[in-house]
């Protein structure tokens, strides 16, 4: 029963450790994969990654494409991977688990 206090506590604990993109997966209608490189550091030392050409890539980013863009950017980083192959395998798993992500056809940057 969902309104059982123990169930609500367990759900809250699960959400606390769940990746943020997973909570928003139904806001996306597709995925994009792009090579990215370090551009600098932002506030609090956070790394700033920017899209680049394949030969410049230090990582490969998997982006969720928003169904209804909320800002000037219509994508959000889901996760970064050290190789293109890892990024593609992760994307294939997401497409298998969440078929609604197949609706969007991205333009590939290389």
d(CA 18, CA 69): 23
pTM confidence score: 0.76
Q: Can you give the pLDDT at residue 82?
A: 94
Tell me: the pLDDT tens digits for 30-74? 899 999 999 998 888 888 889 999 999 999 999 998 887 666 668
Q: What is the residue-averaged pLDDT of the chain?
A: 84
Instruction: Examine the pLDDT at 107 and tell me if it is beyond 70.
Output: no
Give the residue-averaged pLDDT of 14-43: 87
**Sign of the CA dihedral with 19 first, then 53, 33, and 57 last:** negative
Rg from Cα positions in the chain = 16
Q: Can you give the pLDDT at residue 110?
A: 45
């Amino acid at each position: 029963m969902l309104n059982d206090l123990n169930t609500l506590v367990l759900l809250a604990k699960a959400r606390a450790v769940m990746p943020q993109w997973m909570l928003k997966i139904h806001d996306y209608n597709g995925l994009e994969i792009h090579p990215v490189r370090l551009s600098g550091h932002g506030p609090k030392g956070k790394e700033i990654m920017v899209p680049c050409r394949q030969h410049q890539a230090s990582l490969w980013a998997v982006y969720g494409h928003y169904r209804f863009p909320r800002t000037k950017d219509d994508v959000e980083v889901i996760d970064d991977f050290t190789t293109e192959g890892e990024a593609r395998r992760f994307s294939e798993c997401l497409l298998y688990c969440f078929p609604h992500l197949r609706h969007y056809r991205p333009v590939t940057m290389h």
